[in-house]
Amino acid sequence: MSETPTNAAAAAAALRARAARLDAEDELAKLRERFALPEDLVYLDGNSLGALPAGVAATTADVVTRQWGQELIRSWSEGTWWTAPERIGDRIAPLIGAAPGQTVVGDSTSVNLFKALVGAARLAGEGRTDLLVDAATFPTDGYIAASAARMTGLRVVPVDPDRAAESFGPSTAVVLLNHVDYRTGRLHDLPALTAAARAAGAVTVWDLCHSAGSLPVELDENAVDLAVGCTYKYLNGGPGSPAYLYIAARHQRDFDSPLPGWNGHADPFAMTPGFSPAEGAVRGRVGTPDILSMLALETALDAWEGVTVEAVRAKSLALTDFFLECVAAYVPAGTVESVTPAAHAERGSQVSLRTGNASAVMAELIARGVVGDFRAPDVLRFGFTPLYVGFADAELAARTLGDVLTTS
Amino acid sequence: MSETPTNAAAAAAALRARAARLDAEDELAKLRERFALPEDLVYLDGNSLGALPAGVAATTADVVTRQWGQELIRSWSEGTWWTAPERIGDRIAPLIGAAPGQTVVGDSTSVNLFKALVGAARLAGEGRTDLLVDAATFPTDGYIAASAARMTGLRVVPVDPDRAAESFGPSTAVVLLNHVDYRTGRLHDLPALTAAARAAGAVTVWDLCHSAGSLPVELDENAVDLAVGCTYKYLNGGPGSPAYLYIAARHQRDFDSPLPGWNGHADPFAMTPGFSPAEGAVRGRVGTPDILSMLALETALDAWEGVTVEAVRAKSLALTDFFLECVAAYVPAGTVESVTPAAHAERGSQVSLRTGNASAVMAELIARGVVGDFRAPDVLRFGFTPLYVGFADAELAARTLGDVLTTS
């Protein structure tokens, strides 16, 4: 900052006033009441672990004490347990632009990715040899892709997601891309990349971990083939809550899972020796669903009642714009560099700032009540979750970052 | 029963007195206090869903409200979450005869079975072609085995587990067996079958779902190679609680998982593009562990404090012996047939009775407060869980069954 202290104080006062006005005008501001967040905490890590929705504690207590403790096995036959994976999948569906019957919840993202990639390889045309993988992907996607490729005879080809379409061709079997890059917060062009892959005859698998719940996804509209995502970030399902798998209706009959567990059987209690897959996305189920986490997630999704993804996206962009503006005002020139694209069309719901000594800077921010996270080697990540983060949070986070970088 | 009503009443009185005496002498009887079971319920379905251990509700409330709600992301870096899979694996280890460092918790049984079978196929010697599978297995084992075989180039060969050793030979790559058959309650001879498979040069995978927590398993002592099991039956982890994978120490270096998720990486937060597996059983981890269910399981295992599996086994056999004796006394001759072996060495911790109209009979038993379950087409299953089932329960269950079969 080149301002004198007095000018700086005036600029700060102006930004604080702006934040207050933006919060007052924000129709989503009242949604924060739907979460049990500690007071005086600026929580900008909801892109890693979403905050606790208010009703979850009561649900969990009921699931443990009454449904398990008192009803016992009856809850499987008469309660809400057995159909939870597809029922909760259909609660997530509107948030990812999916019609009902295509989304099933259960297992981790990595496990669902394995199902999706092997399933995609089996859907791909004869003679296609390549599995294209976003080279900047969250590592587990690359590890699982390598395993899926090894076990289906494909070859992994790393691609730059921004230029991935240039690589699509007659040898492309499957394309695995992240909707939003976990490090940089870059949003990739799902409609264009899916259309290009489709034109090349390839099967698309999208990883929605860092986008679903923060911006419109529109899987059906863009004719995505398969997708996976976690539920503990923007969907607030809790630590390690189960992930989901989307299987487009047109592929369900031919989707051939490498994990054909009894829960995905057409008649699971017949206990027949041969596997006969269920109709619909249910064939993506594997073993017994993890009920405590599953039903916590179901209640967590109540936080979306009456909320549109479009409104969330508008607020998300306003928040990240405002945060970047505050960072520019508060942070000493040259100390940070945003690796998150400025263009709205290329921005997810996080801001990633590169800085020296990032690990120590983040530790100090956390000590001062501003919680983001650090990604090696030099990135500070700040996630903006519009259901419970406001403009005053963004201003305070940037101001605190400025203080840390000025005094350190 | 051929007795006159007076004789029958005397016999019943004698059995009730025996039950009371056996309960009074039972050193494990007081363990029932460690569970929150409904009064007046005879719960003989703990081999399907174990009862709720007393401390779990408090743990779950703390995990949700404080660890997640207040500590948020900090619980990953500073709390007990990250190491839960291997820490809880080591809590299960003594119950399955495993030294520390070989057992990891997470995912469903089906998913762990896939890891174990593909891992076993990769450990097997060159030129071995066959995956031998217990033909009477719980169906998901067969389905997953077929998928693992398909993806590793093996051929599935169904075998009668009692005579499986006759089939072991130079073409046997992997042998998958159930320790206890889920329908009949038959206990298979793990030491002899493992030794025979080993002598033939095959890799063994044992499914412990229906044995662990009800009888001694002794994986290390018998040089088992790999094993899986669930935690929601005799380990009382709750509905759909995570399963476990055992990887014998001697195989850990070469265990090559088909699901190499980032949690199994040697340095998961380095986010390196290539997969470098962690040392030890940790390489069996895949994605982010499901913390709510995982920590509920950890507390559930407190019910084992000071309890030996040997004492549990002794009580289990006494309970099933006594139940069979009561059934013989109370049930009209010729109406039921036990499909559970009479010999202790061949009996798990359940009694399965074949009868006509079994589904309706079980529904009536449940209506009268005796909860077992039905397995198609004609089996009544009664599970005996020595931590919270007593001899009076066994007597009352048999007497109620007698009443139902006499009046129906």
pLDDT at B408 (0 to 100): 64
The answer to whether the Cβ–Cβ distance between B64 and A111 falls below 8 Å is no
Interface test with B, best of A72, A209, A371 (most B CBs within 10 A): A72
pLDDT at A1 (0 to 100): 45
The token pair that represents A168 in the structure block: 């699509």
Q: Tens of pLDDT along chain A (408 residues)? A: 445 778 889 999 999 999 999 999 999 999 999 999 998 999 999 999 999 999 999 999 999 999 999 999 999 989 899 999 999 999 999 999 999 999 999 999 999 999 999 999 999 989 999 999 998 777 889 999 999 999 999 999 999 998 999 999 999 999 999 999 999 999 999 999 999 999 999 999 999 999 999 999 999 999 999 999 999 999 999 999 999 999 999 999 999 999 999 999 999 988 788 899 999 999 999 999 999 999 999 999 999 999 999 999 999 999 999 999 999 999 999 999 999 999 999 999 999 999 999 999 999 999 999 999 999 899 999 999 999 999 999 999 999 999 999 986
| pTM greater than 0.95 | yes
Residues of B in contact with A273 (CB under 8 A): 135, 139, 142, 158
- Classify A42 as helix, strand or coil: strand
User: How many C-beta atoms lie closer than 10 Å to residue B265's C-beta?
Assistant: 23
Contacts of A104 (CB under 8 A, 6+ apart): A85, A86, A89, A244, A245, A247, A281, A282, A284, A285
Do you find a cis peptide bond into A332, omega within 30 degrees of 0?
Answer: no
B381 catalytic, yes or no?
Answer: yes
Q: What gap in Å lies between CA A85 and CA A69, rounded to an integer?
A: 22
Q: What gap in Å lies between CA B254 and CA A56, rounded to an integer?
A: 42
- Classify A352 as helix, strand or coil: strand
The answer to whether the Cβ–Cβ distance between B296 and A75 falls below 8 Å is no
At B173, give phi and psi (nearest 5°). Answer: -90, -55
Contacts of B172 (CB under 8 A, 6+ apart): B128, B130, B132, B197, B200, B201, B202
- CA terminus-to-terminus distance, chain A: 15
Q: What gap in Å lies between CA A186 and CA A227, rounded to an integer?
A: 18
| Distances A164 to A136, A143, A176, B374 between C-alpha atoms, Å | 12, 19, 10, 54
Q: What gap in Å lies between CA B256 and CA A229, rounded to an integer?
A: 25
User: Considering CB atoms only, which of A260, A296, A373 is closest to B73?
Assistant: A373
The angle formed by the CA atoms of residues A232, A356 and A19, to the nearest 5 degrees, is 60
Please give the average per-residue pLDDT across B68-80, as a whole number: 94
Element (H, E) at A226: strand A226-229
Q: Are A371 and B70 in contact (CB under 8 A)?
A: no
Residues of A in contact with B267 (CB under 8 A): none
Q: Are residues B154 and B262 in the same domain?
A: yes
The token pair that represents A20 in the structure block: 């207050």
The answer to whether the Cβ–Cβ distance between A36 and B60 falls below 8 Å is no
Contacts of A399 (CB under 8 A, 6+ apart): A12, A15, A326, A330
The answer to whether the Cβ–Cβ distance between B287 and A243 falls below 8 Å is yes
In a domain, A144, yes or no: yes
Q: What is the CA radius of gyration of chain B?
A: 22
In a domain, B42, yes or no: no
User: Considering CB atoms only, which of B38, B144, B265 is closest to A261?
Assistant: B144
**Smallest CA–CA separation between A271 and chain B, in Å?**
6
B207 catalytic, yes or no?
Answer: yes
User: Considering CB atoms only, which of A118, A259, A291 is closest to B240?
Assistant: A291
Range of the domain at A120: 57-304
The answer to whether the Cβ–Cβ distance between B261 and A52 falls below 8 Å is no
**Smallest CA–CA separation between B8 and chain A, in Å?**
33
The answer to whether the Cβ–Cβ distance between A288 and B239 falls below 8 Å is yes
In a domain, A61, yes or no: yes
Q: Are residues A220 and A180 in the same domain?
A: yes
Query: Among A145, A212, A217, which Cα is nearest to A176's?
Result: A145
pLDDT at B270 (0 to 100): 82
Q: What gap in Å lies between CA B189 and CA B170, rounded to an integer?
A: 21
A43 catalytic, yes or no?
Answer: no
Pairing of strands B42-43, B103-105: unpaired
Residue with tokens 């609660």: A91
Q: Are B216 and B185 in contact (CB under 8 A)?
A: no
**Smallest CA–CA separation between A326 and chain B, in Å?**
25
Q: Are residues A127 and A10 in the same domain?
A: no
In a domain, B9, yes or no: yes
Active-site position among A26, A45, A207, A225: A207
Query: Among B89, B111, B116, B113, which Cα is nearest to B100's?
Result: B89
Q: Are residues A242 and A97 in the same domain?
A: yes
CB pairs under 8 A between A and B: 257
Higher-confidence residue of B125 and A265: namely A265
Query: Among B205, B165, B209, which Cα is nearest to B189's?
Result: B165
pLDDT at B1 (0 to 100): 45
B232 catalytic, yes or no?
Answer: yes
Please give the average per-residue pLDDT across B241-250, as a whole number: 98
Q: What gap in Å lies between CA B219 and CA B226, rounded to an integer?
A: 9
Q: Are A193 and A175 in contact (CB under 8 A)?
A: yes
Residues of A in contact with B373 (CB under 8 A): 73
**Smallest CA–CA separation between B7 and chain A, in Å?**
37
For residue A142, give the chain B residue with the closest CA: B273
Predicted-assembly ipTM surpassing the 0.90 threshold: yes
Q: Are residues A124 and A225 in the same domain?
A: yes
A322 catalytic, yes or no?
Answer: no
Q: Tell me, what DSSP letter sits at residue A365? A: H
For residue B289, give the chain A residue with the closest CA: A240
In a domain, B22, yes or no: yes
Query: Among B229, B73, B19, B69, which Cα is nearest to B141's?
Result: B229
The answer to whether the Cβ–Cβ distance between A64 and B238 falls below 8 Å is yes
The angle formed by the CA atoms of residues B257, A147 and B227, to the nearest 5 degrees, is 20
User: Considering CB atoms only, which of B73, B146, B275 is closest to A371?
Assistant: B73
Interface test with A, best of B37, B72, B83 (most A CBs within 10 A): B72
The answer to whether the Cβ–Cβ distance between B69 and A57 falls below 8 Å is yes
Q: Are A159 and A134 in contact (CB under 8 A)?
A: yes
Q: Are residues A316 and A202 in the same domain?
A: no
Element (H, E) at B380: strand B379-383
Q: What gap in Å lies between CA B367 and CA B364, rounded to an integer?
A: 5
User: Considering CB atoms only, which of A81, A286, A290 is closest to B242?
Assistant: A290
Active-site position among A138, A244, A322, A388: A138
Helices (H), A185-302: 190-199, 291-300
The answer to whether the Cβ–Cβ distance between B287 and A142 falls below 8 Å is no
**Smallest CA–CA separation between B12 and chain A, in Å?**
29
Q: Are residues A154 and A15 in the same domain?
A: no
The answer to whether the Cβ–Cβ distance between A73 and B243 falls below 8 Å is no
Helices (H), B161-302: 190-199, 291-300
Active-site position among B233, B285, B315, B399: B233
Element (H, E) at A336: strand A336-338
Q: Are residues A399 and A339 in the same domain?
A: yes
Count of domains in chain B? 2
Q: Tell me, what DSSP letter sits at residue B50? A: P
Q: Are residues A314 and A298 in the same domain?
A: no
The answer to whether the Cβ–Cβ distance between A73 and B139 falls below 8 Å is no
The answer to whether the Cβ–Cβ distance between A292 and B142 falls below 8 Å is no
The angle formed by the CA atoms of residues B214, B218 and B223, to the nearest 5 degrees, is 145
Higher-confidence residue of A128 and B274: namely A128
**Considering B285, B304, B323, which residue would you say is the last residue of a domain?**
B304
Helices (H), A331-357: none
User: Considering CB atoms only, which of A110, A232, A273 is closest to B286?
Assistant: A110
The answer to whether the Cβ–Cβ distance between B288 and A75 falls below 8 Å is no
pLDDT at A108 (0 to 100): 98
**Considering A304, A338, A356, which residue would you say is the last residue of a domain?**
A304
Interface test with B, best of A42, A110, A133, A236 (most B CBs within 10 A): A110
* Per-residue confidence band for B138, with pLDDT thresholds at 50, 70 and 90: confident
- Classify B183 as helix, strand or coil: coil
In a domain, A273, yes or no: yes
Looking at residue A155, which CATH number applies to its domain? 3.40.640.10
The answer to whether the Cβ–Cβ distance between A57 and B61 falls below 8 Å is yes
Q: What gap in Å lies between CA B49 and CA A278, rounded to an integer?
A: 24
Q: Are residues B316 and B352 in the same domain?
A: yes
Residues of B in contact with A371 (CB under 8 A): 72-74
Whether residue B368 is predicted with pLDDT greater than 60 in this model: the reply is: yes
Q: Are residues B150 and B237 in the same domain?
A: yes
Q: What gap in Å lies between CA A203 and CA A226, rounded to an integer?
A: 8
Looking at residue A368, which CATH number applies to its domain? 3.90.1150.10
**Considering B275, B304, B333, which residue would you say is the last residue of a domain?**
B304
Query: Among A233, A237, A241, which Cα is nearest to A381's?
Result: A233
pLDDT > 90: percent of chain B: 91
In a domain, A42, yes or no: no
**Mean model confidence pLDDT for chain B:** 96
Amino acid of residue A91: R
Burial profile B358-397: b = 16 or more Cβ within 10 angstroms, e = fewer: beebbebbbeeebbbbbbeebbbbbbbbbbbbbbbbbbbb
Query: Among A341, A96, A359, A337, which Cα is nearest to A227's?
Result: A96
In a domain, A88, yes or no: yes
Q: Tell me, what DSSP letter sits at residue B239? A: T
Q: Are B296 and B60 in contact (CB under 8 A)?
A: yes
pLDDT in tens, B185-212: 999 999 999 999 999 999 999 999 999 9
pLDDT at B66 (0 to 100): 97
* Per-residue confidence band for B251, with pLDDT thresholds at 50, 70 and 90: very high
Q: Are residues B278 and B352 in the same domain?
A: no
